[in-house]
């Protein structure tokens, strides 16, 4: 399927493509709305797809210079310049941050209504399902950013294009053995803790989402964000911190 100039897309990327996107986003200080899979691949949302399946290379845009005052860092430009198409995009007025990806590791979900957030910073202490104050603040900020993004995405008639329909909250645990309970139970408690906060936040800050269902489930230790089996001691602890996490997926629908 050929995809040309698809705004606000959800895309599935290979591990290799994700490494490139991570590097470019990190260089520019840009956030990625990403849910990572155990094999290194990921789902990303709010991505502008400029083309896909034309040749070996696809092209996505992480932000648009016309709407983002961020200063473009010319020193990084050769890493993702796409000549001979550069002049075409300048004529069209598309001068944002563009990243070429391998088409073989890129799938565009055209018209998708999935928003996928791996709640960055929302990691838990070992054997704990308690949200720290910093984690609560981080979660509230990410929910607010998602709310504002959906609110700003309006059709020409001024109607909001997307309405929140369903939250799915997935808890994860690292693979180490527990003295009390199981990884499955611990991951479920983590998801439940986030579910409880999301319910309160929606009531106080996003009444337009009040009809959205909020569900949670556990993946236990089955989907590891990092592979830490060969590590020991403090190295293992630091690595496994990324596995004690929660992922949030928001499904939206168009206006009724």
Report whether 35 contacts 247 (CB < 8 A).
yes
Of the options 3.40.50.970, 2.60.120.10, 3.40.640.10, 3.30.1330.60, the CATH number for the domain spanning 114-253: 3.30.1330.60
Report if pTM > 0.95.
no
Report whether 151 contacts 160 (CB < 8 A).
yes
Looking at the DSSP bridge assignments, the partners of residue 115 are 250
pLDDT value of position 79: 43
Length of the chain (residues): 256
Q: Which residue has the tokens 């563009």?
A: 98
Give the 3-state secondary structure of residue 125.
Answer: coil
Q: Which two tokens stand for residue 190?
A: 């983590």
Q: Which two tokens stand for residue 11?
A: 């895309």
Backbone dihedral region for residue 189 (phi beyond 0: left; psi -120 to 50: alpha; all else: beta): alpha
HSE (CB half, 13 Å, CA atoms) of 193?
A: 22
Q: Which residue has the tokens 């294009």?
A: 161
Walk along the chain (256 residues) and give the pLDDT tens digit of each residue: 688 888 778 899 999 999 989 888 888 777 787 877 767 888 888 788 888 887 888 888 887 654 444 444 444 443 444 455 556 666 666 666 788 899 988 998 765 577 776 665 567 888 899 988 888 888 898 899 888 878 877 766 777 777 888 898 999 999 988 877 899 999 999 999 999 999 999 999 999 899 899 999 999 998 887 888 889 999 998 888 888 888 888 888 765 4
pLDDT value of position 226: 82
The domains of the chain are located at 3-109, 114-253
DSSP letter string over 155-187? -TTS-BS-EEEEEEEEE---SSPPSSS-HHHHH
> Cis omega (within 30 of 0) on the bond before 10?
no
Report whether 50 contacts 90 (CB < 8 A).
no
Strand duo 57-63 + 97-102: pairing: antiparallel
Radius of gyration of the chain (CA): 19
Residue 58 burial class via C-beta count within 10 angstroms: exposed 0-12, middle 13-18, buried 19 and up: buried
Interacting residues of 72 by C-beta distance below 8 A, sequence separation 6+:
65, 95, 97
pLDDT value of position 68: 43
Give the 3-state secondary structure of residue 73.
Answer: coil
């Amino acid at each position: 399927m050929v995809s040309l100039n698809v705004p606000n897309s959800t895309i599935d990327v290979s591990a290799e493509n994700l490494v490139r996107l991570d590097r470019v986003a990190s260089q520019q200080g840009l956030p990625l709305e990403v849910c990572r899979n155990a094999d290194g691949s990921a789902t990303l949302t709010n991505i502008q797809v400029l083309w896909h399946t034309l040749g070996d290379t696809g092209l996505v845009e992480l932000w648009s210079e016309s709407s983002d005052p961020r200063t473009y860092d010319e020193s990084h430009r050769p890493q993702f310049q796409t000549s001979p198409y550069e002049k075409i995009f300048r004529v069209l007025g598309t001068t944002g941050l563009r990243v070429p990806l391998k088409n073989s590791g890129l799938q565009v979900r055209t018209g998708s209504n999935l928003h996928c957030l791996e709640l960055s910073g929302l990691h838990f202490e070992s054997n704990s399902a308690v949200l720290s104050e910093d984690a609560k603040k981080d979660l509230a900020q990410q929910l607010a950013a998602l709310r504002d993004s959906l609110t700003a995405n309006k059709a020409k008639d001024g109607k909001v294009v997307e309405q929140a329909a369903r939250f799915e909250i997935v808890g994860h645990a690292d693979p180490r053995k527990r003295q009390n309970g199981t990884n499955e139970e611990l991951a479920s408690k983590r998801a439940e803790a986030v579910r409880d906060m999301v319910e309160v936040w929606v009531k106080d800050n996003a009444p337009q989402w009040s009809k959205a269902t909020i569900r949670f489930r556990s993946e236990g230790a089955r989907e590891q964000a990092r592979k830490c089996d060969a590590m020991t001691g403090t190295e293992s602890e630091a690595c496994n911190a990324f596995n004690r996490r929660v992922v949030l997926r928001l499904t939206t629908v168009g206006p009724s």
